[in-house]
Amino acid sequence: MFEAFTEVRHLSRWWGPEGFTTTTRAFEFRVGGEWDFVMHGPDGTDYQEWISWTEIAPPERIALLHGESRGDPNAFESVLTFAPDGAVVRMGVQIQLSGGRGPDGMAMDAAGHLFVAHASLGAVFVVSPHGEPLARIASCRGRTTTNVALTPDGQSLVITESATGTVLRARWTPPRHG
């Protein structure tokens, strides 16, 4: 399983939410190396992505910094761990959302997607039930997103931006799984 993260030919086959494809611009798997790529959403939206590896300890651990580009102030840290367990390998994912003050409000939808309002990055981060970062929903009013909740129908997020006293609403469409 470790190897699935070390070569672009593997990553391009499975990286990202269901229905997305990936185009790689540059890839160098080593500490300090970078992966510069674009994820193409099923709706035609392109998402510029950038990863730099900060630690590689085969076959047990990979640490990385993930953002939209080098120097992205909203980049986050992830640590992937791999542990053999009989005929399978158990994988763990830890994500560190930085930026001064940490996460504040959280919510989870019926499918297990976690929504984390970050109190100083002005965004709600969406994490899949498997720990994969799926989206960053940026506030259009300010950088102090302190609470997040789902509407009763699960189709929208209600986000509080406390510095401006604004309540925002963002439509949420979970990724489709075929």
The answer to whether the CB of 19 falls within 8 A of the CB of 176 is yes
CA distances (Å), origin 20, targets 43, 122, 151, 156 = 9, 25, 26, 22
pLDDT attached to residue 14: 83
- Of these ranges, 54-58, 140-144, 174-178, the one predicted with the greatest mean pLDDT is 54-58
- Locus of tokens 């994490």: 127
1-96 folds as Alpha-D-Glucose-1,6-Bisphosphate; Chain A, domain 4 (3.30.530)
SS3 5: helix
Question: What would the pLDDT profile of 34-65 be if each residue is shown by its tens digit?
Answer: 999 998 988 888 889 999 999 999 999 999 99
- Locus of tokens 């930085």: 98
Closest CA to 118 of 173, 69, 155, 75: 75
The answer to whether the CB of 136 falls within 8 A of the CB of 94 is no
Given the candidates 2.30.30.100, 2.40.10.500, 3.40.50.1220, 3.40.50.720, the CATH classification of the domain at 101-178 is 2.40.10.500
The sign one gets for the Cα dihedral 46, 43, 11, 111 is: positive
DSSP state of 2: G
CB atoms within 10 A of CB 75: 19
Share above pLDDT 70 across residues of the chain, in percent, rounded to a whole number? 94
pLDDT attached to residue 97: 61
Domain boundaries, the chain: 1-96, 101-178
Question: What would the pLDDT profile of 70-106 be if each residue is shown by its tens digit?
Answer: 988 778 888 989 988 888 888 777 777 655 555 578 9
Average pLDDT for 111-140: 87
Average pLDDT for 143-163: 90
